[in-house]
Amino acid sequence: MEDLLKIKDKNIVVMGVANDRSLAWGVAKSLHQAGANLIFTYRKERSLAKLTKMLDKTDLDAKLVVPCDVNDDGSIKEAFSKIADEIGTIHGVVHSIAFAHGEDLKNRFVETSRDGYAFAQDTSAYSLIAVAREARALMTEGGSIMAMSYLGAERVVPGYNVMGVAKAALESTVKYLAMDLGENNIRVNAVSAGAIKTLAAKGVPSFNEILQKIEAESPLKRNVTQEEVGDMSLAMISNLSRGVTGEIVYVDSGYNILG
């Protein structure tokens, strides 16, 4: 078969695996199946421990695992400098990182603090710019960067609150980066994933209702899986999507088209 993906032996950095339910893990599995080399970054020691176990249990292995705290420019620089030393050229980055203070997802939106707002923006949206800047230097053969978003960026999903505002900034950031990095042959896109039970979704009281609503109302009448998000992410990282940049692609059973 013609090699439409051209992903074999390409070096892809995957950021944001916290456990085996993480969307980033789904992306890693799809990339691995297609023959990519994987480099993982983690923040918490707990995530490293989980990742190490997961890598042991599967046939998936990592070329490199490096610490990276996206709230810290120095840490991002260090991580990519290590990747440069050990790997050299990279071809893709998967940004699957978001965080907000718990109280900002529980309280009324109007109660969002200045600090909570800044923290959500810094972690979930600005971090893509900082990462793209360091990644660009290593993408000497061009590349593809993708981020993970959610419908709450553009619609009011009750309770998503400050994360919705951060994802709106993230999606806009994707478009401005796509424009800026196009001349370096670097594409920048986002996958807007439907609701999936991940660590991030834990402790969201209304989450089960959201899942039920999607099952009842979405065109496909079901929820999406980590594997489905992973496969579309593979398409966005790979040569299949070579003509696509600045795009937000929905993997949500079609839920976003409803009026």
Q: Would you name the residues annotated as active-site residues? A: 150, 160
Q: Does 159 bind ligand 1JT (CB under 6 A)?
A: yes
Helix (H/G/I), strand (E/B), else coil: 202: coil
d(CA 130, CA 104): 24
**CB of 24 vs ligand 1JT, minimal distance in Å:** 12
**CB of 62 vs ligand 1JT, minimal distance in Å:** 24
d(CA 198, CA 193): 12
Tell me which stretch binds ligand 1JT (CB under 6 A): 60-68, 96-104, 139-147, 251-259. 96-104
d(CA 77, CA 207): 36
Residue ranges at the known binding site for substrate = 100
**Residues 10-49: x/- map of binding to ligand 1JT (CB under 6 A)?**
----------------------------------------
Which residue's CB is nearer to ligand 1JT, number 80 or number 126?
126
Which of 73, 75, 84, 99 forms a contact with ligand 1JT (CB under 6 A)? 99
Considering only residues 194-233, where is the footprint of ligand 1JT by CB under 6 A?
Answer: 195, 200-201, 204, 206, 210
**CB of 106 vs ligand 1JT, minimal distance in Å:** 9
Which of 160, 232, 241, 253 forms a contact with ligand 1JT (CB under 6 A)? 160
Beta strands in the chain (DSSP E): 11-15, 37-42, 64-67, 92-95, 143-149, 186-193, 248-251
**CB of 45 vs ligand 1JT, minimal distance in Å:** 19
CA atoms within 13 A on the CB side of 45: 0
Residue ranges at the known binding site = 16, 69-70, 97, 100, 167, 196-200
Closest CA to 153 of 144, 166, 142: 166
Radius of gyration of the chain (CA): 17
Q: What is the dihedral of CA 11, 16, 18, 21, to 10 degrees?
A: -80
Which residue's CB is nearer to ligand 1JT, number 149 or number 238?
149
What is the total count of residues that contact ligand 1JT (CB under 6 A)? 16
**CB of 250 vs ligand 1JT, minimal distance in Å:** 14
Q: Which amino acid is at 156?
A: V
d(CA 58, CA 156): 39
Cβ-Cβ contacts under 8 Å for 141 (sequence gap 6 or more): 89, 91, 185
Which residue's CB is nearer to ligand 1JT, number 8 or number 46?
46
Residue 196 structure tokens:
């999936």
Helix (H/G/I), strand (E/B), else coil: 180: helix
Residues that bind ligand 1JT (CB under 6 A): 98-100, 105, 150, 157-160, 163, 195, 200-201, 204, 206, 210
